[in-house]
């Protein structure tokens, strides 16, 4: 007789990946039948769809009217790179990093752009850098939510309204789930495949009037590839922010993004999306509180992400193991649930400490998160029973 019976209820949707993320509840491929496939994105029908995507983004995300919104190539990465290469170098820059993607932006600025007046402010996984040490006479680059660490900035109170430099925020796993204070942000980037569960490869770039002024008044010392160029003759190329994209977008992916935005409006807009994410996180938090073998990777409760929830195994028998054996144990939990079709892609990011990463964004249902927690306990017990017995 088994001493570790499997839970009776399975998550209806086993997709807990942190990107691409679960499709919205009720999504069907047939719902994208209005996509103008085989048509040019520069035809009237294509431009109308792209402009609608921009307008709905402004409405649902509550972007100020004087901020530009553009659809750009290469997902959030492309959006961030466009900005780094186009606006940095005008003044010193502070680079904040506390997980792999922030570290990647540091590498680009220091080793690729070779900016000698770049300052890296870093923290280990699970923590934030000292935000009080940021110099806002500099440009500042940071991720709002560290997707691979589960650590987010709790608010924008640390950013002064009278800053001299630009604030450049990679918000890809924060947009639509966490409260972004646009008055404190000059550049915001994200991708469709995170909180709204859209398809990959398309990025969103949001520019404040201050960011536009920088683009129009500053010319970098290095050449810019075509897909990075946002100005012509010293003026912003306004078409980029009206649906005239720099390169060819997938109109099927555009239709899918429109579907997600319309769903967002129908359920109540931004506040409803944030509430769904918060409730999903709450289900994880309640389970962690009553479960002795697991804890959050984020050490400070106010910095714990409500989207990319990162966990670590703290069971004494496991933490006594060598590091590679601890990593194998966490992997066994994730792989066991994946093989059973219970939860896909919940292992920690490859550069992060060993553990689990569970997406709790707005397209995930709380009932599925709650069901998953029981299976996590089951998978932990299965993995622990497989450990060698002490002599």
Report the C-alpha gap between 197 and 201 in whole angstroms.
13
CATH architecture of 39-266: 3-Layer(aba) Sandwich (3.40)
The chain-wide mean pLDDT, for the chain, equals: 97
Contacts by 122-126, CB closer than 8 A, 24 or more apart: 122/96, 122/97, 122/98, 123/97, 123/98, 124/98, 125/98, 125/99, 125/149, 125/151, 125/297, 125/352, 125/353, 126/151, 126/297, 126/298, 126/299, 126/353
What pLDDT is attached to residue 2? 60
Residues 301 and 284: beta-carbon distance below 8 Å: no
Mean local confidence (pLDDT), 24-37: 98
Read off the DSSP letter of residue 93.
E
Two tokens, residue 201: 């490869």
- Which element (helix H / strand E) includes 332? helix 323-339
- The yes-or-no verdict on residue 391 having pLDDT over 50 is no
pLDDT for 181 beyond 70: yes
d(CA 250, CA 201): 9
Q: 337 to each of 233, 255, 283, 348, 375, how far by Cα in Å? A: 56, 32, 19, 14, 8
pTM of the entire predicted model: 0.97
Say how many C-beta atoms besides its own lie within 10 A of residue 151's C-beta: 29
Output the six-digit token pair for 117. Answer: 């007046």
**Would you say domain 269-385 falls under CATH 3.20.20.140?**
no
**pLDDT exceeding 90 applies to what percent of the chain?**
98
At residue 1 the predicted structure's pLDDT band, cuts being 50, 70 and 90, is: very low
Taking Cα atoms as reference points, which of 62, 16, 24, 66 lies closest to residue 262?
24
Question: What's the CA gap between 286 and 376, in Å, rounded?
Answer: 14
pLDDT digits 0-9 by tens, 255-307: 999 999 999 999 999 999 999 999 999 999 999 999 999 999 999 999 999 99
Give pLDDT tens digits for 242-261: 999 999 999 999 999 999 99
Strands of 139-143's sheet in order across: 68-73, 202-207, 187-191, 167-170, 139-143, 93-97, 118-122
Quote the CA–CA distance of 334 and 18 in Å, as a whole number: 14
The span from the first CA to the last CA of the chain, in angstroms, equals 25
What does the pLDDT average to over 204-229?
97
Check residue 344 and report its DSSP letter. B
User: Contact, 168 vs 187, CB < 8 A?
Assistant: yes
DSSP summary character for residue 304: B
- pLDDT tens for each residue of 323-366: 999 999 999 999 999 999 999 999 999 999 999 999 999 999 99
Which residue's structure tokens are 């003026």?
235
Residue 310 confidence (pLDDT): 98
CB atoms within 10 A of CB 321: 16
Element (H, E) at 120: strand 118-122
For residue 389, what pLDDT is reported? 79
Instruction: Specify which residues 167 forms β-bridges with.
Output: 140
* Average pLDDT for 40-46: 96
Q: Residue range 101-109: average pLDDT? A: 97
* DSSP, res 349: P
Please, which residues bridge with residue 70 across strands?
205
Q: Write down the pLDDT at residue 3.
A: 87
Residue 141: its pLDDT value, please? 98
* 352's tokens: 């992060």
Cis amide bond preceding 20, omega within 30: yes
Q: Which 3 state secondary structure label does DSSP give 292?
A: coil
CA–CA distance, 71 with 189 (Å, rounded to integer): 10
| All structural domains of the chain with their residue ranges | 39-266, 269-385
390, pLDDT greater than 80? no
């Amino acid at each position: 007789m088994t001493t570790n019976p499997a839970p009776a209820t399975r998550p209806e949707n086993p997709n807990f990946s942190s990107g691409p993320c679960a499709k919205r509840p009720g999504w069907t491929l047939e719902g994208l039948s209005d996509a103008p496939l085989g048509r040019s994105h520069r035809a009237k029908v294509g431009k109308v769809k792209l402009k609608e995507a921009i307008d709905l983004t402004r409405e649902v995300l509550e972007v100020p009217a004087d901020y530009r919104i553009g659809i750009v190539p290469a997902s959030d990465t492309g959006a961030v790179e466009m900005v780094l290469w186009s606006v940095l170098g005008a003044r010193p820059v502070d680079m904040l990093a506390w997980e792999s993607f922030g570290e990647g932006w540091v590498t680009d600025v220091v080793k690729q752009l070779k900016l000698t007046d770049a300052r890296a402010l870093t923290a280990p996984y699970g923590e934030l850098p000292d935000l009080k040490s940021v110099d806002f006479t500099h440009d500042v680059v940071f991720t709002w939510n560290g997707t691979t660490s589960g650590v987010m900035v709790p608010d924008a109170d640390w950013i002064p309204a009278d800053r001299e430099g630009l604030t450049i925020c990679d918000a890809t796993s924060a947009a639509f789930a966490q409260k972004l204070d646009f008055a404190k942000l000059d550049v915001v980037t994200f991708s469709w495949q995170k909180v709204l569960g859209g398809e990959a490869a398309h990025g969103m770039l949001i520019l404040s009037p201050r960011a536009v002024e920088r683009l129009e008044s500053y010319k970098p010392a290095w050449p810019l590839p075509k897909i990075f160029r946002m100005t012509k003759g010293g003026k912003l190329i306004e078409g980029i922010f009206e649906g005239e994209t720099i390169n060819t977008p997938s109109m099927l992916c555009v239709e899918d993004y429109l579907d997600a935005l319309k769903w967002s409006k129908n359920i109540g807009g931004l506040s409803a999306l944030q509430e769904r994410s918060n409730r999903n996180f709450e289900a994880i938090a309640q389970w962690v509180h009553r479960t002795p073998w697991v804890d959050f990777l984020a050490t400070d409760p106010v910095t714990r992400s409500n989207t990319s929830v990162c966990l670590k195994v703290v069971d004494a028998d496991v933490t006594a193991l060598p590091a590679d054996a601890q990593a194998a144990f966490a992997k066994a939990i994730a792989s066991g649930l994946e093989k059973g079709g219970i939860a896909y892609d919940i292992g920690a990011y490859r550069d992060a400490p060993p553990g689990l990463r569970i997406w709790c964004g707005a397209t995930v249902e709380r009932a599925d998160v709650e069901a998953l927690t029981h299976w996590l306990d089951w998978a932990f017990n299965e993995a622990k029973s497989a450990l060698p017995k002490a002599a």
